[in-house]
Structure 1
Amino acid sequence: MIKYNDTYIIGIDHGYGNLKTANTVTASGVKVHDIEPPFKKELLEYDGKFICIGENHKSFTADKTTDMDNYYLTLYGIAKELSLAGITEANVHLAVGLPLMWYSEQRDRFSEYMMQNENVEFIYNNKRYSVHIEGVSVYPQGYCAVYDRLKDMSGVNMIYSCIYCK
């Protein structure tokens, strides 16, 4: 998370295995309950629903806007980053990624999906958050990882990601 003027830029990678932010990695599973569950680890409360995050992994869907799961994961990612900074109210600009093969076709729809509520309030682990989403930037996945280093790169470059590399 980076602060720019009065806005926090929060990068979120909505992977099927894990949701990643600058400072966190969490299994991307979403389980929605109509009543408060007895076990409340990683509990998001939004729109009258109780959403448990991270208990498993999200199943594959080619379009990440077909259900509310990625929106819930976004709120969770925002809460995680703000929580680490000790902030509960913020103006936020989201930087999100899509797989390169779907980027051109889905970027506008994904941006609209992320902006479905410009002002959003939710509770994460019993703490209330009030967020104004100022905008969304959608990038091909991997781009955000090298954006600040592009000026130092020349020629042909490849991005390699390995969760098992040390």
Structure 2
Amino acid sequence: MVSDGVLDAMHAALAGVSGAADVPELRRNETLDSALEEVTNGASAGTSAWSNFVDGDLERIGEAMGGDYAYELRQSALVEIVVRAPEDAGRRAALAAIVDLYQDAIEADPTLAGSVSVWEITDLQRDNLAETGVPNIKGATLTLSAEFIADRPI
């Protein structure tokens, strides 16, 4: 497996829950200009949400030398989430529902079908986005990390 393959697998696993219940389509490397989409199902019905997977950096953790080179690598990625609802409780509930479903998707396949040793959410940063002209917005950024072995350092 190489870095791009790990990113593809991570995105595919999370995109698989998109459109279900409270989760909007998971875009990839896009900007918020692509617009919030209305959530029509689940506890967050009536809110609008946007979710975006951003390819991250690759880090070399270690390498084994000998007959065959093997690199232990860590691939990171971000998932940006933005929700809009009239009340703060609704914004928090919608955000929590999206994060929970992404966490469930990771727990359902913690090795991405054996392509990584482990992948997980390593950080959650909440953003209170008080944008002029766009009221009632709340956001969060999830940091994802996947560790894997490769025969090339990329």
Structure exhibiting the larger radius of gyration computed from Cα positions:
2
Q: TM-score when scaled to structure 2?
A: 0.29
